Structure 1
């Protein structure tokens, strides 16, 4: 099994969780980790011992090496940056080679995000405030294809490319689409989530729903029953949401945590334009709208049918703000 390294902690948290699994199918499994930098190898060995095998590559653009390593594995959990279509497609191409060699099923879990489905209420391009997507009944793949025709979004490009590559090569692909991931990770490297630290960095600069269990459940279903209960092909998208929040609530939570830590002078939250947000966050206006100013509501029906029972809720959500602020301050 291969878990490529991740610039966020998704990969590290999933890796740690799988290594601690008591399930016989995983208990003694060796997991390969595709990483950048020889200096990280001792850290992996110290943390995980012989259970983890490190394979080096230059970076996400090193697709030739990615294909080579992927072709040596039957299962891949891709938790790397979802905005890099080429690296994700390379993993599928590697699995296709593996499938041709062994004649056995090759399987990949690809990590994506629900911003792929988000509306754009600020610009007014698409407004779907009350729409709720259900992974058991809605055509998520078809909806994303239609959205791509109107505006390309790299994370969506990556996800659709992986699904299409799987259909073309016979590699089984399942996509886990996560909303805001909160809380401190358990990996060796970067332990931050995504959206919350973005707000933290911006807030300080100006004055985890536990989903690893879902990855394990999906992987074990593939290992034990060849994915008999898993959706595939154009129905391969499943959600990992647990609860609802507004972006205003998230911003207020970060602001309060930063204020209580003495990092800013007031917990007041102010509104800014998309252009100003893009400048503050160092990104494009349309990404700011999709990622931090939109509506994207989902129902995780498939995961719950598979037996996933989220163990974190409102209290962990609130504690996540404090953890992320503390982590950001520690780096200053």
Structure 2
């Protein structure tokens, strides 16, 4: 069984790779894993390949072999299609949410592999495990709550999900992936919410949304954490280790029992937070690190437009995006981390990281 993973230099993808390589699940016994990297420069390519091979060539999990391959990038769709033909399972976390041509190329490659196959293998047909995000269900609340709990999306409610507008964030790619789920190939879309925690990847170990609060706080004098509106809108959340394990659960199930999965969304959440919760957590962490009290401030409408000139970025830090992971729990996925237990430690590490990063850039 040949598995290709894209996006391993990223936050989620790097942690997915670590969890796959560490897995001792019998379904992965004897599997060959290849990671696909975008070519940069000869020096960078050699350095990244060396780091990956040194870390993963010898592992204690079920995976039998590890390899590194390079390509011109997601925009090189003809090349990507040819590469995709060589694999039984592809896990795509590389800018996967919004790159429609790349998703189409991968699907064409897997369909070509299926058409040419005469072997009886496991899985029975090629599989694409696609990474999306719950930005697809976020609203434009700007800090206001979902007062009547009307905007909670369960992955078991296929009718409500089917009604999502095709213009929503990520939705065009998600629809393409779902439409490709047929007798010739299998597609599954894993949909992370707000992801926190320190990643296990060898390159990017930090997320985007929460570190953004830290960066903005440290840039202000005196330090303060700003949030939008009343900060009462909610996002579901999950630790990066738990979302990575969700990919492993899906991977093992498509090998063991392909028909157990449909081609739709698989949410993976472990709780919820308001954006004011995030702001207060960041304030405590920054205050502890710098040794002074740090407060939280609600931004005025004018300040919101100034701080967040991009409408999409503004909504990511102030919307409701509430999901319920029913289907993946039925597959046996159980999140290990809870929001409050590791968050303060994670935030303190993030503050120290951002301070060190600022010093290195200023040197």
TM-score > 0.5, shorter chain as reference: yes
1:202/1:84 Cα in 2 relative to 1: closer, same or farther (>3 Å)? farther
1:173 aligns with 2:173: no
Return the TM-score normalized by structure 2.
Answer: 0.79
Higher strand share: 2
Match of 1:288 in 2: 314
Match of 1:35 in 2: 37
Q: Matches of 2:147 and 2:9 in 1, distance apart?
A: 31
Correspondent of 1:271 among 279, 298, 301: 298
Match of 1:94 in 2: 109
The SS at the match of 2:135 is helix
1:55 aligns with 2:42: no
Match of 1:230 in 2: 261
1:91/1:239 Cα in 2 relative to 1: closer, same or farther (>3 Å)? same
Cα RMSD of the aligned pairs, angstroms, is 2.6
Please, which runs of 5 or more residues in structure 1 have no aligned partner? Answer: none
Q: In the TM superposition, what whole-angstrom CA distance separates every residue of 1:162-200 from its partner, at most 9, and x where no partner exists?
A: 223x14784211111111111011111111123112222
Match of 1:300 in 2: 325
Matches within 5 A, 1:1-332: 1-6=3-8, 8-36=10-38, 37=40, 38=45, 39-49=47-57, 51-81=65-95, 82-102=97-117, 104-122=124-142, 130-144=150-164, 147-148=165-166, 152-164=167-179, 166-167=180-181, 170-207=184-221, 208-209=239-240, 210-225=242-257, 227-232=258-263, 236-262=264-290, 266-272=293-299, 276-277=303-304, 280=307, 284-289=310-315, 291-313=316-338, 314-332=340-358
Q: Matches of 1:308 and 1:90 in 2, distance apart?
A: 30
Please, which runs of 5 or more residues in structure 2 have no aligned partner? Answer: 59-64, 119-123, 222-238, 359-363
Structure 1 residue 266, shift from structure 2 partner: 4.7
Higher helix share: 1
Q: Matches of 1:6 and 1:278 in 2, distance apart?
A: 34
Structure 1 residue 128, shift from structure 2 partner: 7.3
User: Is the Cα contact below 8 Å between 1:275 and 1:285 reproduced in 2?
Assistant: no
Structure 1 residue 276, shift from structure 2 partner: 4.5
Runs of 4+ residues deviating >4 angstroms: 126-129, 273-279
Q: Matches of 1:169 and 1:331 in 2, distance apart?
A: 49
User: Is the Cα contact below 8 Å between 1:32 and 1:54 reproduced in 2?
Assistant: yes
Structure 1 residue 86, shift from structure 2 partner: 2.1
The range that moved more, 2-11 or 166-175, is 166-175
User: Is the Cα contact below 8 Å between 1:31 and 1:52 reproduced in 2?
Assistant: yes
Structure 1 residue 132, shift from structure 2 partner: 1.6
User: Is the Cα contact below 8 Å between 1:277 and 1:285 reproduced in 2?
Assistant: no
